A and B are shown apart, each in its own frame.
Chain A
Amino acid sequence: MEWETVIGLEIHTQLATKSKIFSGASTAYGAVPNTQACAVDLGLPGVLPVLNKEVVTMAIKFGLAIGAEVAHRSVFARKNYFYPDLPKGYQISQMDLPIVGKGAVEIELEDGKTKTVGVTRAHLEEDAGKSLHEDYHGMTGIDLNRAGTPLLEIVSEPDMRSAKEAVAYMKKIHSLVRYLEISDGNMQEGSFRCDANVSVRPKGQKEFGTRTELKNINSFKFVEKAINIEVERQIDIIESGGKIVQETRLYDADKNETRSMRSKEEAMDYRYFPDPDLLPVEITEDDIKSIEKNLPELPAVKQARFEKDMGLSNYDAAILTSDKDLAAYFEQAADKSGQAKLAANWVMGDLSGRLNKEDKTITDSPITAEMLAGMIKRLAENAITSKMAKEVFDAMWNGEGDADQIIEKRGLKPADSGEVEKIIDEIIANNPDQVEQFKAGKGKVMGFFVGQVMKASKGKADPAQVNKILAQKLK
């Protein structure tokens, strides 16, 4: 039987505020345990939450970016459960009146088509602390630094049909929150993580199958792996006559398996009710308009602009706008060099390759956009050959200075036409057989001559020029 996978994601993205959602304590990552937890975060008797207004603005930005309805009245609710890293015994979240309602994003599929994924809602909530089970000799250590960190939980419709689509959606949301500067999206630090609801059904069936929820997946790679392994597990069960149990499962990246955490019967009753310590958030049309006015350029708009104004292909523009910092880098390199196409090739080619190899992101690139533009400019004016450009690129990467300094220091200069002609004459004279072959119509021999000339010139000749002169001389 052919099976269809149905996936919905709940993405938790940490909002990039300086202080916590309901207290003045810092949200900076990596501090000594429990040094960034104030009386409010500790849930001491008598303390009260006060909403950090910045998170409301951030959530509204997200809502506008996905074309969602922003609530004019939004309510915080308490989600009650006991856990040692949840200091108050309840999490302040949102239930009935979330700040962001229905919206949608477009994802690009592998076959080049696009698909719309619905966003059901996005709501604000506080993060819990961390339980540390190792190093405490059978006890548990609690670090409440993360308690009260603001989160935006983005809930999708069950619109995705493969692990790859889920990854594309997650990447899209990741790119979006970074564009909006509402989250640093740092997945290692847990600033961007997701739960996946996964089910399978026979192809063509309308009703959804029984789903399982995979908890707390914190990388694109793991989302894909976790979903695929869960889909396999579900199909195996059904095909061998079993039934899927609605439950929460944990993905274990080390063993690449999912395992049961709790079933629906064990599911907790969170006893949600409106938090009486917080007033409803009232958002006026004017508030929304003024936030809308200050929205940064969104990826789709930027992509269209790159295609239209810079003449990039749809493919190049899509890649270059997939990440905000990458787009900014490219745009600067293109502007400063005046060579958009060349800049695109270098950024997507040599630079991205090198960054990937060394596991760096664009923001850690030792070559700044300005440096790259300097090199591209020289290349475009034929002050260096493409081979030299690669040499300059490597030298810049190694910190030897900017393009002009390296060109000067190394005395890089394309051979002049007289020199090139001399070399060509010699090579034609030394290879009569090949000249005969060429004249007999074997065009491929041209490559041989170019190669020989380049070799003899030690790369200083400009291949375009060599081609031109060779063509004349061999006529």
Chain B
Amino acid sequence: MSLHTKNLAELSDELKNKKISSVELTQYFLDRIEKFDSELNSFVTVTKDHALAQAKKADEVIASGKAGPLTGIPIAQKDIFCTEGIKTSCGSKMLDNFISPYDATVVEKFNHAGAVMLGKLNMDEFAMGSSNETSFYGPVSNPWNTKCVPGGSSGGSAASVAARLTPASTGTDTGGSIRQPASLCGITGLKPTYGRVSRYGMIAFASSLDQAGPIAQTAQDAGLMLNAMAGFDPKDSTSVDKEVPDYTADLANDLKGLKIGLPKEYFGEGLDSAVGDVINSAIERYKQLGAEVIDIELPNSGLSVPAYYVVAPAECSSNLSRFDGVRFGYRCEDPKDLEDLYKRSRGEGFGPEVKRRIMIGAYALSAGYYDAYYLKAQKVRHLISDDFKQAFEKVDVIMGPTSPNVAFNIGERSDDPIAMYLSDIYTIATNLAGLPGMSVPAGFANNMPVGLQIIGNYFAESQLLNVAHQYQLNTDWHKQMPENYI
């Protein structure tokens, strides 16, 4: 039996046709996690009993004929989503002892859809990182080469799907944290429009940028996942009250006449030429599918990384203030007084990257600097949004590389934050503008996967999935599996 070679949609059919039970399927993936994850380190917590109980329930639902597409399907959650009664660490020592008393809306929605949760996935601490190296639980390995990083911050989410330890997973994307690891691990990831998926119960990094989305083998699977995740949530004021379409409905549309914009800023200096070649041949394939390619400009692209590294730290410096050792999470031993409690609980509970960003953010918001940094960065956000707005008057989607490089070695960039920050140079702008973006496997460079980034207009997730699905019908990059995990 090689159930792991099947994608989510195929497994869903197997369950529906009673070729296999959810309990069997769940046990199958639990066994794979057991077998492979000691090497990969993609899971922080494996929730075996919880998963088998959910699977049993799902089998009853399937037997009663009321199954939906996700009923009985095993998935895994990034450890940033609160799960009732289960440790929710956010990759940090600060929350190593935190058992959430409630479920995130995303978790609730998957439960409602009948999905089975295999466990909680490793990630960069508080989602701050592009390599999964800042995790308190240690780095995650890239299944294509275990010496390499899987990308981040959703490193566990991407590695676990790439190694087929779970059919699909959830991730969050603040500056590229779904798309970049999806690219580096050769799988499909979607960051929806800001406000499309509820942030309630998703531990905040940068509130105005954070967005949850699916990580899966195919665009179709990502669509099935997004169907369960998306929707207005009265508990999240920034979620958008807009109807949720069936994200698989437009998959079959052909791409004749599709206008693809290629921003010249995404193909310039800094892009690994082997990665560039892969992207160019993917574009060629789209031309063969009937698409028209148009050169465009996103003139303020160069400002996106600096603006991001003001806005995101500013928000995180405030969002992470609640981790003070008073009510939950890590508390230092024998605090002398209140100040000592704060300083040591936070000093010992947070890792260096988190501290760096809190300090940058507190500085950017402080009196006398606010206008020069925070306000200016917000203005840059408007400029970047305007660039996209003008581009989408001419084109339907924008394409380019997801990341300038393939996966790098563990440890290679961990002492050089600037080099690390540049991993997200092509993904950050969409977060600043709130636009949806995808990464789709498009080939290999130096034997490591390369992802094609597709950026859409606001709420154009159906179109993005359609554009990705048509490519996947005509290529098999997304079917490639790292050989040690076959």
* Chain A residues near B (Cβ < 8 Å): 39, 42-51, 78, 80, 82, 84, 87-90, 140, 142, 269, 271-273, 276-279
Known: A80-B321, A271-B362, A273-B370. A50 touches B237 (CB 8 A): yes
CB atoms of A78 and B318 under 8 A apart: yes
B residues near A78, Cβ cutoff 8 Å? 318
**CA of A42 to CA of B101, assembled, Å:** 12
A residues near B338, Cβ cutoff 8 Å? 84, 140
CB atoms of B238 and A43 under 8 A apart: no
**CA of A273 to CA of B208, assembled, Å:** 12
**Selected A-B contacts with CB under 8 Å, 27 pairs:** A39-B102, A44-B102, A45-B82, A45-B95, A45-B98, A46-B82, A46-B200, A46-B202, A46-B204, A48-B199, A48-B200, A48-B235, A49-B237, A80-B321, A84-B338, A89-B320, A89-B321, A90-B321, A142-B326, A269-B367, A271-B367, A272-B365, A272-B370, A273-B318, A273-B365, A273-B374, A279-B237
B7 CB-CB contact with A under 8 Å? no
B residues near A80, Cβ cutoff 8 Å? 317-318, 321, 365
Known: A44-B102, A45-B90, A277-B238. A89 touches B318 (CB 8 A): yes
**CA of A49 to CA of B237, assembled, Å:** 7
Chain A residue nearest in CB terms to B236: A48
Closest beta carbon of chain B to A67's beta carbon, Å: 31
B residues near A47, Cβ cutoff 8 Å? 200-201
B residues near A43, Cβ cutoff 8 Å? 322, 327
B146 CB-CB contact with A under 8 Å? no
CB atoms of B207 and A46 under 8 A apart: no
Closest beta carbon of chain A to B357's beta carbon, Å: 15
Known: A87-B322, A89-B318, A273-B370. A42 touches B327 (CB 8 A): yes
B residues near A51, Cβ cutoff 8 Å? 237
B314 CB-CB contact with A under 8 Å? yes
B315 CB-CB contact with A under 8 Å? yes
B residues near A142, Cβ cutoff 8 Å? 326
CB atoms of A278 and B321 under 8 A apart: no
Interface centre among A78, A277, A278, A279 (most CB of B within 10 A): A277
Interface centre among A87, A272, A276 (most CB of B within 10 A): A276
Closest beta carbon of chain B to A132's beta carbon, Å: 14
B45 CB-CB contact with A under 8 Å? no
Identify which of residues 365-410 in chain B touch chain A, using a CB-to-CB cut-off of 8 Å: 365-367, 370, 374
Select which of B234, B314, B322 is within 8 A of A89 by beta carbon: B322
**CA of A361 to CA of B468, assembled, Å:** 73
A residues near B362, Cβ cutoff 8 Å? 271
B88 CB-CB contact with A under 8 Å? yes
A residues near B100, Cβ cutoff 8 Å? 44-46
* Chain B residues near A (Cβ < 8 Å): 81-82, 88, 90, 95, 98, 100-102, 104, 199-204, 206-208, 234-238, 314-315, 317-318, 320-324, 326-329, 338, 342, 362, 365-367, 370, 374
Chain B residue nearest in CB terms to A273: B365
**CA of A266 to CA of B365, assembled, Å:** 18
**CA of A45 to CA of B100, assembled, Å:** 8
Instruction: List 7 A-B pairs, minimum CB-CB distance, nearest first.
Output: A89-B321, A276-B207, A276-B208, A271-B365, A46-B201, A43-B322, A45-B203
Known: A271-B362, A277-B207, A278-B237. A45 touches B322 (CB 8 A): yes
Closest beta carbon of chain A to B187's beta carbon, Å: 26
A residues near B366, Cβ cutoff 8 Å? 269, 271
Chain B residue nearest in CB terms to A50: B237
A residues near B81, Cβ cutoff 8 Å? 46
Known: A84-B338, A89-B322. A50 touches B104 (CB 8 A): no
**CA of A44 to CA of B98, assembled, Å:** 10
A residues near B236, Cβ cutoff 8 Å? 48, 50
CB atoms of A46 and B235 under 8 A apart: no
**CA of A50 to CA of B318, assembled, Å:** 18
Closest beta carbon of chain B to A172's beta carbon, Å: 34
A residues near B204, Cβ cutoff 8 Å? 46, 277
Known: A78-B318, A87-B322, A271-B362. A46 touches B203 (CB 8 A): yes
Select which of B237, B322, B328 is within 8 A of A88 by beta carbon: B322
Chain A residue nearest in CB terms to B81: A46
**CA of A413 to CA of B284, assembled, Å:** 112
CB atoms of A87 and B327 under 8 A apart: yes
19 more CB-based (< 8 A) A-B contacts, given A89-B318, A271-B365, A278-B238: A39-B102, A42-B327, A43-B322, A44-B100, A44-B102, A45-B88, A45-B328, A46-B200, A48-B200, A48-B238, A50-B236, A80-B321, A87-B322, A87-B326, A89-B324, A90-B321, A271-B318, A273-B318, A273-B370
**CA of A87 to CA of B201, assembled, Å:** 16
A residues near B201, Cβ cutoff 8 Å? 46-47
Chain A residue nearest in CB terms to B328: A44
**CA of A75 to CA of B4, assembled, Å:** 50
**CA of A12 to CA of B327, assembled, Å:** 27
Chain B residue nearest in CB terms to A144: B327
CB atoms of A279 and B238 under 8 A apart: yes
Closest beta carbon of chain A to B86's beta carbon, Å: 13
Known: A89-B321, A90-B321, A277-B207. A84 touches B326 (CB 8 A): yes
**CA of A291 to CA of B417, assembled, Å:** 54
CB atoms of B237 and A277 under 8 A apart: yes
Interface centre among A45, A46, A87 (most CB of B within 10 A): A45
Chain A residue nearest in CB terms to B239: A48
